[in-house]
Structure 1
Amino acid sequence: MPRLGAHMSILGGLHLALERGQSIGCETIQVFTRNSNRWQSKQRTPEELELFRKTQIETGIHPVVAHAIYLINLASPDSTVRTMSNDAFREELARCQEADIPYLVLHPGSHRGSGLDRGIARIAQGINDAYAEHPEYTVLTLLENTAGQGDTIGRTFEELAQIAERIQDRSRIGYCIDTAHALASGHELRTPEGYAETFARFDEVLGLDKLCCVHLNDSRYDLGAERDRHEHIGKGTIGLEAFRLILNDPRFADLPMLLETPKSEDLHEDAEALALLRSLMT
């Protein structure tokens, strides 16, 4: 059975994300390892890292998945933004490595009108350079599919494949599929036929063996809208059948599946969504 969880806040300490997740029944969690709205970050102390590891053992939550900050745009044609993005990406990898976090989810970025091919080349260069500097890193970068808004890269599986083709060591990357992004970018998930076709295409282009994580989000917008707005499970345009299909797909039995839907401080929305998702599992 897949491991279910949600994105958790690290307010007060990275270890508290694990405690918050445990309080609502998470088996896995996703976190930002730093403030997601700032380029600057605070270095973690050995004591903080040890407390995180200890809490992870105590809670049994695994894997912990990190999400790169949204400011990062490896595809940017602006040299200043790209330099800051490359530096931040390297730091994200380092923070994951020191905390024994195995996966870093990355939005490919936006070419800002400079052209898809150039944007893809910049993304691959940023990833290649980061791993070349630290060949000892074991963290996998998971490229996430996008809804297709504006000049974002990753709307199609083929665009993700074009990035992968330029990665010098492809063992360094995997993929994260977001259900809301998939529907918004034109991939049908709501019928058995559409679901089968979407994942057959994913397997053909990217390889299901490289799928390491799933973001379980309903969508406010319909098929092909190319707009990115997450909705609570069962309350958007995806509906429950798609989630039933993915949760019971034996090919994904060991994957972390994570909510990224709106929540209040008491996390009752996540708790209710997790209960709903578990009710769909057979």
Structure 2
Amino acid sequence: MVLVGCHVSIAGSIDLAVERARERGCDMFQIFSRNPRGWKAKDLDQGTADAFRTAVSASGLGPVVDHMPYLPNPASPDDEIYDKSVAALTGELRRCDLLGIPYLVTHLGHHRGAGTEAGQERVVAAINRALTDAGEGDVMLLLENTAGEKNSVGSTFADLSRILEGVDAAERIGICFDTCHAFAAGYDLRTAEGIEVAFGEVDDRIGLARLRVVHLNDCKGDLGGGLDRHEHVGLGSIGEEGFRRILRHPGVRSLPLICETPVDERRDDAGNIAKVRELAGA
């Protein structure tokens, strides 16, 4: 058996996401806890948080994963953007704690020409500030590998390792592995050899124990093309055989798998979840 789900909407009320996940056949699910396209977030009241916790408990689904909104850029050399990004990360850690969500996934952003090393230093400082300002909690922050876009931070597992080494609270940090991003950054996940190279690098540089969640997305672009465009599982450049091999890797099979795939006339969320189970032999 695999533990698979998708990203679901919180429209109307955050607790409604639980039923949406159940309808799609999820074992677990991912959300944005707030509007992902703005800086400001409406505060969560205790009643809303309690309703969410109750719905999750009654559903038997989990773990729940929260994702940072789109605008924050913790690698930014712009002090105003940087400070707003740290505040957003701090706030999201607190929201997860209130909601009882164990994992918060974050992109690491873009250094905007300042250089990879400078971007990494900004990210490390941002994470350390946010974890301190958020206070003690049970939320683990998961750093997501990026797709190798221009000026991006965290496209290789060596990059992620250097950031992890700089974080003070090591026990509060893990990794989210995105298959589309890894392929776009040059990791060939179509072959058994390429998969071993990718996860071998994770193990050597970071440790597989720190890999907590997988974003299971096919890729619309070419290998190493730097294109962050998700495709239905098996219908993109990685393909069905690639995902069969990925889903049989011991470093993946026992982890929560989240599809962040399109919804169109070819397939919906339930269809991608069913395809993952089929390819996994579950």
User: What band does the TM-score fall into relative to the shorter chain?
Assistant: over 0.9
Structure 1 position 277, deviation (Å): 1.1
Q: Distance in 1 between matches of 2:96 and 2:16?
A: 16
Aligned to 2:49, what secondary structure does the other structure show?
helix
Q: Distance in 1 between matches of 2:228 and 2:115?
A: 21
Partner residue, 2:67: 67
Partner residue, 1:278: 277
- Tell me the alpha carbon deviations over residues 213-272 of structure 1, each in whole angstroms, 9 at most, x when there is no partner: 0001010001100111001112110101222122222333431100111126x9961111
Please show how residues 49-64 of structure 1 align to structure 2 within 5 Å: 49-64=49-64
Q: Distance in 1 between matches of 2:62 and 2:128?
A: 27
Aligned to 2:66, what secondary structure does the other structure show?
strand
Q: Distance in 2 between matches of 1:22 and 1:169?
A: 34
Q: Distance in 2 between matches of 1:267 and 1:56?
A: 30
1:175 aligns with 2:175: yes
Structure 1 length normalisation: TM-score?
0.96
Q: Distance in 2 between matches of 1:110 and 1:250?
A: 32
Partner residue, 1:202: 202
Q: Distance in 2 between matches of 1:115 and 1:280?
A: 40
Cα contact 1:131–1:137 (8 A) shared by 2: no
Partner residue, 1:16: 16
Partner residue, 2:93: 93
In structure 2, runs of 5+ residues without a counterpart are none
- Tell me the alpha carbon deviations over residues 65-109 of structure 1, each in whole angstroms, 9 at most, x when there is no partner: 000011110110001101111111100100001101011000011
Cα contact 1:30–1:258 (8 A) shared by 2: yes
In structure 1, runs of 5+ residues without a counterpart are none
1:121 aligns with 2:94: no
Aligned to 2:15, what secondary structure does the other structure show?
helix
Partner residue, 2:7: 7
RMSD: 1.5
Q: Distance in 1 between matches of 2:52 and 2:254?
A: 23
Q: Distance in 1 between matches of 2:82 and 2:8?
A: 28
Distance of aligned partners of 1:48 and 1:268 in 2 relative to their CA distance in 1, 3 Å threshold: farther
Q: Distance in 1 between matches of 2:272 and 2:63?
A: 20
Q: Distance in 2 between matches of 1:28 and 1:247?
A: 17
Greater shift in the superposed pair: 93-102 or 44-53: 44-53
- Tell me the alpha carbon deviations over residues 99-148 of structure 1, each in whole angstroms, 9 at most, x when there is no partner: 01011000011100011111111111111112223441211110000111
Greater shift in the superposed pair: 22-31 or 253-262: 253-262
Q: Distance in 1 between matches of 2:135 and 2:32?
A: 23
Q: Distance in 2 between matches of 1:43 and 1:68?
A: 15
Greater shift in the superposed pair: 139-148 or 124-133: 124-133
